[in-house]
Structure 1
Amino acid sequence: MIVKKLGGFLCIGLFISWVSACTGVGPSTSLFRSTSPHDQYGQSLKEARLDRTALGTDWLEAGNRALRDSLKISVPYRESGYFSANKTFAVGYRLDAQRGDRFLVRVETQGQKTAQVFIDVFSLDDRNRTSLIAASKADTNVLAWEPRKTQTYLIRIQPELLRSGSYTITVTREPALAFPVQGRDSRQISSYFGASRDGGRRRHEGVDIFAPKGTPALASVDGIITGVGSNSLGGNVAFLSDNDRNIRLYYAHLDRWNVSNGQRVSVGDTVGFVGNTGNARTTGPHLHFGIYGFTDGATDPLPFIRLGRGPARQPLLAESRLGDSVRVSASKSPVRLAPTADAPVLQELPKSSALTIIGGTEAMASCRNAGWANGLRR
């Protein structure tokens, strides 16, 4: 078998390694905080002295290299692949995320026995230092997480030892908050954060969502109502405190309220009704929706409530191709390989180099250098 455009494939490194870089978990933090399932599993290998075996050492080293040799992706994203019981496996993915995003990472496995897969999310600073911010629960191959600041993040996927099977990883994005106007979505936003107001003397500190007068304005989170009252700009207003995210949601220009100070509400409860009170008397009815941090000023609400991008649609590799051995057909094809200690991940391979496909999508195959293997298909 010959891969006609292998030069266009991006081959993901899989001999990747583990590091204990954590915030809020691990032995260096509070004794009242538990370590992540990945860390607990690594510690169990050490306690059983399996870290002194070749396979145990490879597993512990695999996670660390995944943090360095990660693939940059755009969400939504998915790919399929295969991991073997006699080889360690880990893979990393980098993505840019905004405060207000909510990501769902799911790993589906198929094999003789369903493998536990550890999913960890790290923040990545401008010096490429990692800090663990979220981890999947034990025996759960799914993780939902929200970035607390706009920056680059890294997702690491690693199954337990001595398991074989095929897998599909999917990463999707959705808004962190429910939309605050009944029957509307982010397509009905007509004025955005930062727009000029009063001849440039101030900036718009929210988004405007237009809807007929009397349309219910809904609680976007579970929280407590504070600050029900009136002011000259916002007219009838209410604040909804979200203690989990340390933010307050601001509802303005309400025709009337449906809540009182100190009231606890749940997502979807009616806070008030859309109107045009305050300085919106000359405009059509709309909800001014803002977000303020407990310790800082206004932040752009759009990432918190905008529509997600839907499911991942990358065509997956046929399962029959996983583990397939191929040759590079183009001259000097740049590929991404499973890394070794003495070779870079990104390499430019000459024509006829032998590779084994271990995962990816139809557009990007993940490959391991196969050497000149017997039975190589042409």
Structure 2
Amino acid sequence: MTRFGRLFLGLLILVVIAFASMLRWQQAEEAPAPASAPPPPAPMASAGPLTVPVAGVQPEQLADTFRDPRTGHVHGAIDIMAPRGTPVVAAMPGTVEKLFESAEGGTTAYLRSPDGRWVAYYAHLDGYAPGLREGLYVQKGAPVGQVGFTGNASAEGPHLHFALKRMEPGEAWHEGRAVNPYPLLRGVR
């Protein structure tokens, strides 16, 4: 074999090896996660334990209303009873993603965790904390608003409707999968 032939053969072998190594790398990267892969961490993994989002309410005072029936659906949240005007605070740090008025929830706020995997939903607020605005980053315990009975809540039972949603990448503030916040607020894993 000529010198040129050996050089060409060597280059060809290097190209084949490089191509084969790229194929193996892509296959490994695209392989599905094993069925026993752990679920994404709970909000407390990145933000510390959740804070009860109504000032003065202790974890042992909470009631688990997550699976309670509502007209046409399951509640999917917990109601934290408190007098109208009681401060509502951020249960975890996050960015105010949406401030919204709706017939059901009344005056509402949606806060997304720093890692984007969680949205906390605060509904039936009497009003927002001064300076609260979309895009604002708040620390855990920062004021969000006040307990009220806006939307479809009864004036006889002012409360905070508090929901927590696990988010997939790219999901909007109103999407996600409801996760029961009760055990997380009670510190039970």
TM-score normalized with structure 2 length: 0.67
In the alignment, which residue of structure 1 is the partner of 2:102?
231
One of 303, 314, 326 as aligned partner of 2:183: 303
Q: Distance in 2 between matches of 1:239 and 1:245?
A: 12
1:290 and 2:163 matched: yes
Quote the offset at 1:307 in angstroms. 4.3
Q: Kindly tell me: are residues 304 and 245 of structure 1, through their superposed partners in 2, closer, same or farther at Cα, counting changes over 3 Å? A: farther
Quote the offset at 1:280 in angstroms. 0.5
Q: Which runs of 5+ in 1 are unaligned?
A: 1-124, 134-145, 150-174, 310-378
Percent sequence identity over aligned pairs: 36
In the alignment, which residue of structure 2 is the partner of 1:77?
none
| One-letter amino acid of the structure 1 residue matched with residue 97 of structure 2 | T
Q: Distance in 2 between matches of 1:254 and 1:179?
A: 15
In the alignment, which residue of structure 1 is the partner of 2:45?
none
Quote the offset at 1:297 in angstroms. 1.4
Backbone CA RMSD of aligned residues: 2.6
SS of residue paired to 2:63: strand
In the alignment, which residue of structure 2 is the partner of 1:246?
117
| One-letter amino acid of the structure 2 residue matched with residue 148 of structure 1 | P
In the alignment, which residue of structure 2 is the partner of 1:182?
55
Larger CA deviation: 236-245 vs 210-219? 236-245
Q: Distance in 1 between matches of 2:49 and 2:55?
A: 17
SS of residue paired to 1:298: strand
1:210 and 2:90 matched: no
| Aligned pairs (5 A) from 1:167-178 | 176-178=49-51
In the alignment, which residue of structure 1 is the partner of 2:10?
none
Q: Which has the higher strand share?
A: 1
| One-letter amino acid of the structure 2 residue matched with residue 228 of structure 1 | L
Contact 2:63 2:182 in 1 (8 A): no
| Aligned pairs (5 A) from 1:127-138 | none
SS of residue paired to 1:279: coil
1:194 and 2:67 matched: yes
How many residues are paired up?
Answer: 143
In the alignment, which residue of structure 2 is the partner of 1:37?
none
In the alignment, which residue of structure 1 is the partner of 2:173?
none
In the alignment, which residue of structure 2 is the partner of 1:28?
none
One of 77, 82, 90 as aligned partner of 1:219: 90
Q: Distance in 1 between matches of 2:80 and 2:111?
A: 17
Runs of 4+ residues deviating >4 angstroms: none
1:272 and 2:152 matched: no
Q: Distance in 2 between matches of 1:191 and 1:253?
A: 18
TM-score normalized with structure 1 length: 0.35
